[in-house]
Amino acid sequence: MNKWMFFGALLCLGLGGCATHGCDTSTVGSDCRSDYLLYQNDMLQAKWIINERHQQSYELASALLTRAARDDRTGEAAFYQAVLLLRLKGDGSMVHDMLQESADDKYPLAIALLAQLSGSVDQEKARAYRAKYGELDVAKSGYPSFPQALIVVNQLISPKN
């Protein structure tokens, strides 16, 4: 049950965050709607692979995220690319750059993760990220709160669920 609540939070953050995609996605059969549906599908599949820790499918998740990143305006794809790199023990500076790109797009989980990663190195920077999180619409609405976002982030980057 806890795993499903976690996955629900990921979906809520992800799909809610990309509601405005720059074109009319409500017209059935339009190219814009088709592109949007494919973007949502790519993100959903990639998040599922990452959440379920299907390491044999990480290459597929990476390809899906790369394709989704072309249309992503929320920072979500860059965040999950960074999570995937963390899981694969990738280059730390590349992970940080992807997280920063995602945070620049105001993706809540990226800001929370940057705050956490900065906390052990630079308390001032960690406080700045925490304050940036507090300015987000999701933080003002109370869901997810910063502590809740840290729980989600920690579950994503931990070696085991």
Any idea what the CATH number is for the domain that residue 89 is in?
Answer: 1.25.40.10
Q: pTM (2 decimals)?
A: 0.83
Please write the tens of the pLDDT for every residue from 12-58: 444 444 444 467 788 888 888 999 999 999 999 999 999 999 889 99
Residue with tokens 């669920």: 161
- DSSP letter for 56, please: G
Instruction: State the total domains in the chain.
Output: 1
Indicate whether 15 belongs to any domain.
no
Number of neighbours of residue 86 by Cβ within 10 angstroms: 17
Indicate whether 5 belongs to any domain.
no
Residue with tokens 């105001």: 106
For residue 131, the enclosing domain spans: 24-157
CA distances (Å), origin 34, targets 23, 39, 40, 130: 11, 9, 10, 37
Indicate whether 28 belongs to any domain.
yes
Indicate whether 11 belongs to any domain.
no
Strands (E), 17-83: none
Contact of 86 with 95, CB cutoff 8 Å = yes
pLDDT at 141 over 80: yes
- DSSP letter for 106, please: T
